[in-house]
Structure 1
């Protein structure tokens, strides 16, 4: 078995679980490749990892059977960007905070490795959003699991986002920005801006304005076969675009088209992992939060 691992910094309380993970992998003679930042962090805090294989960019990721993400949801989104069209199954161990995507607790690492070794898991195919542009953006990593976002770069004036759905004019959003979210991303930035929660396999995108000037403008759910074209006007003549955790500033001449990617993210799920259970737990549904 070959496993790649990407991670971020974690609290000292997670140390025994991480050490146990590498002990388990070593005992089972698993071939391990680490991302360069995660390898550097492990060396810095003195956790033995026995692996000499390191990758520094997505092209150097070896053909793993599975990829493990050590961190929160943001780390898993980074890991998905490393995998891309290769569609290697990925699972997140939650040593971060919220954990809508990284749902395996550190206490269950041994159970997880045993499940991976014995193929005792299911694959959850998740839709990705992809960006097409007239300029080279994101160094070819033009896809995201959660969302694509446009936001203003200054602190005072709004931007205007002229939006077209399948080449038909939809609306001009006067707002701080606009989010195009996948069902997976519906529990992320879109949710905090008033967007609806979608179950993961809904075949939809959500178009969610960020602080719109017109209060009658609301999030819109569209089919994921739709092609969404965006033209942005700004007093500063530029704006910020983001795909999951990756962002950069572009100018008004940048043409943007959003559509469903022709490949998916393949998330590993334990048999007792349920989206509805996660939803109730993370959003505290069913609990009296009035006091």
Structure 2
């Protein structure tokens, strides 16, 4: 049974307070110890807060109140300490935050009574290499996105897969996505939806100049190298889960591989990937 709970709330959003109050009232009633991040502390009229490093050493589960972005930002830190995460949805679609604001208490009761499942998701490691030296290394659970910073300029990228050239693409950018991220930016760029259990990644060009540059599904253990062509005179960046942004230059290489760290998502009873797709994408509902 989970005994020490981390509570992390969406930044600068008072709309999460109702859900936060419900969680805190439940934990107080059950006399379960919890630790608040700074934003939760502010929303609760400056109750004592705990920094992320202390949470990593003291907590055995984290409840994230917000949307997928809040959960992914928290996962950047908590996953490295092997702390499982459960999301309470106060965002928009919310493919990763499973608990509805209308069913918080019943789901907390199930999870804290050991009635839950663990959905384990893979990570990607992205390295930026400049002049043969690694200048940045970051983790992502959704996607690694190489993109133009100039509004109307394409970038040219040479892509290598497992040591062999794949293609050169002129586009607004390129998404390399895990199965988890296949319902995020990758999907909006025309990529396929992958089941979370699939041992696969997907590479999706963003608005490619040639219609023949289509999404491609590749093996999970692939080594992907994307080089920003020396012909590219456009400002570009590589972004990890929409949270960490690293500027890149012509001739920089972004090397992407499967990471060793996994994200452990705690799911209450009755939640599964197919039910989430039906709900979030409106499948099966008559107009």
TM-score of the pair, normalised by structure 2: 0.90
Q: Which runs of 4+ in 1 moved over 6 A?
A: none
In the alignment, structure 2 segments of 5+ residues that lack a partner are: none
Within-5 A mapping of 1:53-68: 53-55=49-51, 57-58=52-53, 61-68=56-63
> Deviations for 1:53-108, whole angstroms, at most 9, x for unmatched residues?
411x5576333111111001111111111213222110100011111111201122
Q: Which residue of 2 aligns with 1:287?
A: 285
Deviation, structure 1 residue 114: 1.7
Kindly indicate whether residue 231 of structure 2 is the aligned counterpart of residue 229 of structure 1: no
Tell me what 1:121 maps to.
Answer: 116
Gaps of 5+ in 1: none
- Who is 1:249 aligned against? 247
CA distance in 2, matches of 1:213, 1:133: 25
Instruction: Tell me the CA shift for residue 16 of structure 1.
Output: 3.8
Q: What CA distance in whole angstroms lies between the structure 1 residues aligned with 2:174 and 2:259?
A: 19
Partner residue of 2:215 out of 219, 244, 252: 219
- Secondary structure of 1:62's aligned partner: helix
1:164 and 2:166 aligned: no
Distance 1:58 1:249, change over 3 A: farther
| Partner in structure 2 of residue 274 of structure 1 | 272
State yes or no: 1:80 paired with 2:75. Answer: yes
Partner SS state of residue 171, structure 1? strand
- What's the offset of the Cα at 1:216? 1.2
Q: State the alpha-carbon separation in 2 of the partners of residues 281 and 255 from structure 1.
A: 39
Query: Which whole-Å deviations, capped at 9, do the CAs of 1:101-132 have from their partners, x for residues lacking one?
Result: 11201122212322232211111110111112
Partner of 1:133: 128
Matches within 5 A, 1:20-99: 20-40=22-42, 42-43=43-44, 46=45, 50=47, 52-55=48-51, 57-58=52-53, 61-99=56-94
SS of the residue corresponding to residue 277 of structure 1 reads helix
| Inter-partner Cα distance in structure 1 for 2:271 and 2:74 | 20
Alignment TM-score, normalising by the size of structure 1: 0.89
How many pairs does the alignment contain?
278
Which of 171, 179, 182 is 1:186 aligned to?
Answer: 182
SS in structure 2 of the partner of residue 54 of structure 1: coil
